[in-house]
Amino acid sequence: MKLALILNVIDPKIGGVMIMGDRGTGKSTTVRALVDLLPEIEVVLDDPFNSDPSDLELMSKEVREKIQNNQTIETRKRKIIMVDLPLGATEDRVCGTIDIEKALTEGVKAFEPGLLAKANRGILYVDEVNLLDDHLVDVLLDSAASGWNTVERESISISHPARFILVGSGNPEEGELRPQLLDRFGMHAQIGTVKEPHLRVKIVEQRAQFDESPILLRNQYQEAQKELSDKIKAARKLRPKVEMGYDLRMKVSEVCSELNVDGLRGDIVTNRASQAIAAFEEREQVIPEDIFRVIPLCLRHRLRKDPLESIDSGDKVKDVFKKVFGLQV
């Protein structure tokens, strides 16, 4: 789970993470803890969409027009933000609304941005995503896939960038996501309750320490936290330089074909995740061990053909990987 989250911060185009697991295993806590590790990005000042001043795909129409007219754009640095999407949110709250009255009387497109606008270039976290209304899940996944959100009301249409890392979590006892929706998440992590008594005791002790003195416990891990944050920043810069050989890409596609994975998302996500983990390990070349570490997370949720079938633990993916690559990792 931690690896999948970190790789998505390094390369947001991996497509997000779906985390399923037992109650009380720290899914939400881990996702929210990611905020402390997030690097800073440059955004246009007073822009509701966190527009990137240098990337046309990540800026609003207004900012693009200013740049085309050679107007000065003020910017500032801010941390990547995480937006929580509550279960009871309406479609208007998620997508944003158009003030029809103002549009008709004043002739301007009065748009009230929603959560998708706020989450642009950040993380959108949906707890209990398997309980979210299907139409809202469709809206989220369409925006996550295209990178844009379009709101249409009474012949008025407004589009804005909505490129975010979609993170969902849930308890499989409360119902699974439909296979076609699962496929839209780049990676899938399965979390189980810790069985070893000494690890359980360690977790309970740390929780007790946190309840007693949160600041003291945070200070103990501040150095390790900063080290990890710096490593993620360096990996984000290195990621575009990382190369993956043609033979490795061929073998990844062979694994996907052998596993009968529908579509090509599995191939794309595995390649991107392999490059992200190589960057995280401070290397410019992907090696088979990188692929072995990420391929179960990228493919395990894409193997299920029957909605009643349970999601593979990852062993099937690893077995086929070893067969195709002809090595023991």
Q: So what's the pLDDT on residue 328? A: 54
Q: Which two tokens stand for residue 126?
A: 């949906």
265 among known catalytic residues:
yes
- C-alpha neighbours within 13 Å on the C-beta side of residue 39: 19
Whether 99 and 19 share a structural domain = yes
CB count in 10 Å sphere of residue 117: 23
Ranges in the chain, pLDDT < 70: 100-104, 106-109, 179-180, 304-313, 327-329
Nearest to 94 by CA among 7, 187, 166, 156: 166
The 3-state secondary structure of the chain reads CHHHHHHHHHCHHHCCEEEEECCCCCHHHHHHHHHHHCCEEEEECCCCCCCCCCCHHHCCHHHHHHHHCCCCCCEEEEECCEEECCCCCCHHHHHEEECHHHHHHHCCCCEEECHHHHCCCCEEEEECHHHCCHHHHHHHHHHHHHCEEEEEECCEEEEEECCCEEEEEECHHHCCCCHHHHCCCCEEEEECCCCCHHHHHHHHHHHHHHHHCHHHHHHHCHHHHHHHHHHHHHHHHHHHHCECCHHHHHHHHHHHHHCCCCCCHHHHHHHHHHHHHHHHCCCCECCHHHHHHHHHHHHHHHCCCCCCCCCCCCHHHHHHHHHHHCCCC
Is 158 in the same domain as 276? no
In which domain, by residue range, is 292 found? 242-325
**Total structural domains in the chain?**
3
Q: Cβ–Cβ contacts within 10 Å for residue 327, how many?
A: 11
Are residues 214 and 181 part of one domain?
no
Is 55 part of a structural domain of the chain? no
Domain membership of residue 25 (yes or no) is yes
* Residue 275 · residue 11 · CB < 8 Å: yes
pLDDT at 109: 62
Looking at the structure, tell me whether residues 170 and 100 fall in a common domain: yes
Tokens at 213, concatenated: 């003195």
- Same domain for 175 and 315, yes or no, is no
The answer to whether the predicted template modeling score (pTM) of the entire model surpasses 0.95 is no
265, 272, 300, 302: the catalytic one is 265
* Residue 15 and residue 137 share a domain: yes
Would 53 be classed as within a structural domain? no
- 160 plus 291 within the same structural domain: no
On whether both 124 and 152 belong to a single domain, the answer is yes
Whether residues 285 and 298 share a domain: the answer is: yes
Q: Which of 178, 212, 238 is the last residue of a domain?
A: 238
Side-chain half-sphere of 23: how many Cα atoms within 13 Å? 2
Question: Residue 116 CA to chain centroid, in angstroms?
Answer: 14
Using alpha carbons, select from 303, 239, 301 the residue that is nearest to residue 271: 239
* Residue 56 counted as domain residue: no
C-alpha separations of 112 from 81, 93, 158 in Å: 19, 9, 11
Pairwise CA distance, residues 292 & 315, whole Å: 11
Residues 270 and 175 in one domain: no
The reply to whether 175 falls in a domain is yes
Instruction: Write down the pLDDT at residue 229.
Output: 92
